[in-house]
Amino acid sequence: MKKLIFISLIIVSILVSGCSKTDMLKKYSGPVNIENTNIIEVQIPSGTTSDGIAEILLENELIVNKLAFKELAKDMEVDTKFKAGLYHLNQSMDAKTIIEIISQGKVYEVTIKITIPEGYELNQIIAVIEESGIAAEEEILNVLKTGEFSYKFLDYVEREHYLEGFLFPDTYIVRPNASAYDVIDKMLNKFNLIFKEKYYTQMDLLNMNLNELISLAAIIEREAKLDSERAVISSVFHNRLDINMKLQSCATIQYILGERKEFLNYDDLEIESDYNTYKYSGLTPSPIASPGEKSIIAALYPEETDYLFFVTTENNDGSHYFSKTYEEHNINKNKK
Q: Give the separation between CA 248 and CA 266, rounded to whole angstroms.
A: 12
Query: Could you tell me if residue 60 is inside a domain?
Result: yes
Q: What is the pLDDT of residues 47-98, one digit of tens each?
A: 999 999 999 999 999 999 999 999 999 999 999 999 999 999 999 999 999 9
Q: What is the pLDDT of residues 133-146, one digit of tens each?
A: 999 999 999 999 99
Residues 45 and 76 in one domain: yes
Instruction: Please count the structural domains in the chain.
Output: 3
- Return the CA Rg of the chain: 30
- pLDDT band of residue 23 (cuts 50, 70, 90) is confident
Q: Give the separation between CA 188 and CA 254, rounded to whole angstroms.
A: 25
Residues 330 and 203 in one domain: yes
Residue 80 vs residues 28, 35, 47, 48, 315: alpha-carbon distances, Å: 21, 30, 10, 10, 66
| HSE, side-chain direction, 13 A CA sphere, residue 53 | 28
Is residue 298 scored above 70 in pLDDT?
yes
Q: What is the pLDDT of residue 19?
A: 60
Q: What is the pLDDT of residue 30?
A: 93
Residues 40 and 27 in one domain: yes
Q: What are phi and psi of 13, to 5 degrees?
A: -60, -40
Please count the helices (runs of H) and the strands (runs of E) in the chain: 15, 6
Instruction: Name the DSSP class of 106.
Output: -
Residues 210 and 165 in one domain: no
Average pLDDT over every residue of 25-32 = 89
- pLDDT band of residue 273 (cuts 50, 70, 90) is very high
Residues 205 and 190 in one domain: no
Asked if 67 and 7 touch (Cβ cutoff 8 Å), the reply is yes
Q: Are strands 40-44 and 85-89 parallel, antiparallel or unpaired?
A: antiparallel
Last residue of a domain, one of 167, 194, 221: 194
Asked if 82 and 140 touch (Cβ cutoff 8 Å), the reply is no
Query: Could you tell me if residue 2 is inside a domain?
Result: no
Q: Give the separation between CA 98 and CA 80, rounded to whole angstroms.
A: 15
Average pLDDT over every residue of 220-242 = 97
Global pTM value: 0.75
Q: What is the pLDDT of residues 242-271, one digit of tens each?
A: 999 999 999 999 999 988 877 788 888 889
